[in-house]
Amino acid sequence: MSGALETLCGQGFGAKEYHILGIYLQASCIISLIFSIIISIIWFYTEPILVLLHQSRDIARTAALYMRFFIPGLFAYSFLQNILRFLQTQSVVMPLVVLSALPFFVHIGIAYGLVQGSGLSFTGAPLAASISLWISMLLLALYVLYAKNFKRTWQGFSMDSFHYVLTNMKLALPSAAMVWYDSLTTFNFCCPSTINLI
């Protein structure tokens, strides 16, 4: 759903309407929040959905357990993707690399601690991923909020962002559909027998 920002922020930045980038970012985050809630509800009911699709109950139960522990990470991931697009359209590269590498190294320790060091084992992996995604998202959000580079493009939270939700949605839905279709056709090309089973 964050794909719309590439177009909208790119146009705003090119037209030197810098203030609009922050408003587009907020509108995209509102959309991401709504869709993350919808997807998290679907993930919460992963087990009955997979059983309905004729998956074995053991696999469905294990997958559902993993998905439930990954739900917090879904929200962080959706916000993170929006911030990444916001930064990329402004050609911010090196801070992006540094602030993405740091959580990666922290993730190694968190994952080891939660999977091996605690009693969580299997469920420690999605929980570690969720924590690492939140760290990454918060680092980038703080960078946008406090770095002087974004004084023109980020001017604080604005109620105007709600007026751009529909504009954003008109580009976000086709963008998401293209990504979904592309991934489905790639999966079908690589694993046609699996698609036929489904």
Q: What is the pTM for the complete model shown?
A: 0.83
Q: Which amino acid is at 28?
A: S
What is residue 120's DSSP assignment? -
Tokens of 60: 């469905």
Identify which of 157, 143, 148 has the alpha carbon closest to the alpha carbon of residue 100.
143
The 3 state secondary structure assigned to 23-91 is HHHHHHHHHHHHHHHHHHHHHHCHHHHHHHCCCCHHHHHHHHHHHHHHHHHHHHHHHHHHHHHHHHCCC
Q: Cβ(25)–Cβ(81) under 8 Å? A: no
- Return the percentage of the chain with pLDDT > 90, whole number: 45
Per-residue model confidence (pLDDT) at position 30: 93
Residue 157's φ and ψ, nearest 5 degrees, are -70, 140
The number of beta carbons lying within 10 Å of the beta carbon of residue 100 is: 14
In tens, the pLDDT along 133-180 reads: 999 999 999 999 998 888 898 988 989 889 888 888 887 777 777 776
pLDDT level of residue 99 (50, 70, 90 thresholds) = confident
Q: Is the pLDDT of residue 3 over 80?
A: no
